[in-house]
Amino acid sequence: MTSCSPSSPSSPASSSPLVLQGFTAPLSLADFKLAAFDMDSTLISIECIDEIAAAAGRKDEVAAITEAAMRGEITDFKDSLRRRLALLRGVDEDALARVLRDRLTFNPGARDLCAALKAAGLTLVLVSGGFTYFTRHVAAELGMDFVRSNELEIVDGRLTGGLVMQEWGDICDGEEKRRMMLACAARIGASPAQCIAVGDGANDLPMMGAAGLSVAYHAKPAVRAQAMIAINDGGLDRLLDVFR
């Protein structure tokens, strides 16, 4: 998908309260115009790159790098992604189809939350350090308006271990997520304060820090600590509990 081009299960009941930091609920959805979402481990239950690596027998090695990057222990996301991609060199592209068919599932409440936000008039943005092969499917299923993610390079039916250069660059890291959210906000006439950003890993912190409302979903400790809302139990639709 292009830089800014358009493109259910509900959560189980939980008695555990949301963790609110820096404000008091309820808020009004009318105060927001845009919601930006991470994909892997946020809207969907898997890290797609780890599942692709399983096809190459290297899931443990790749997953260890993914975990360190999401925790913020590896601070250069671009470097961590290139290291992981190098381990996928030679994987048959059919592995992508198998991951999409057999492994990709939406997190509880993802469909309900996105539907509710769309019904309230919000623009939805998907910003992912993952891959277009999967973001296209997720965006279509959830009604995303704008998408940015990385394009895997495939030659002769196999992954090269590289990415395709796009008009905005080749790797959607934390800073690119922030830029994309703000660019889409400007395009629809919204201020940063009218943006909601939802993520789980360290590379989501730049966009979360720029948004008027930041939401950590089953997130790494450093992300939970910096978010205004932390959803630690239940599904994504628990976010709706803070709005009147």
Please say if the pLDDT value at position 214 is more than 70.
yes
**CATH number attached to the domain at 19-46+106-242:** 3.40.50.1000
Active site residue 92: no
- Give yes or no for a contact between 233 and 14, defined as CB atoms under 8 angstroms apart: yes
Instruction: Give pTM, 2 decimals.
Output: 0.92
| Helices 59-71 and 77-86, axial angle in degrees (round to 10) | 180
Bridge partners (DSSP) listed for residue 195: 34
Q: 135-173: per-residue pLDDT in tens?
A: 999 999 999 999 999 999 999 999 999 999 999 999 999
Between CA 27 and CA 54 the distance in angstroms is: 42
Give the pairing of strands 195-199 and 34-37: parallel
**Residue 38 a catalytic site member:** yes
- Which of 38, 50, 200, 204 is an active site residue? 38
**CA 77, CA 222: separation in Å to the nearest integer?**
15
What is the spatial distance between Cα 192 and Cα 9, in angstroms, rounded to a whole number?
Answer: 30
- What is the domain partition of the chain in residue ranges? 19-46+106-242
**Residues 186, 195: Cα–Cα separation, whole Å:** 11
DSSP 233: S
Residue 16 binned pLDDT confidence (cut-offs 50, 70, 90) = low
Indicate if the pLDDT at residue 101 is higher than 50: yes
How do residues 30-73 score in pLDDT, each as one tens digit? 999 999 999 999 999 999 999 999 988 999 999 999 999 999 99
CB atoms within 10 A of CB 21: 13
Q: Could you give the CA distance from residue 19 to residue 24 in angstroms, rounded to a whole number?
A: 10
Active-site residue, from 40, 145, 204, 237: 40
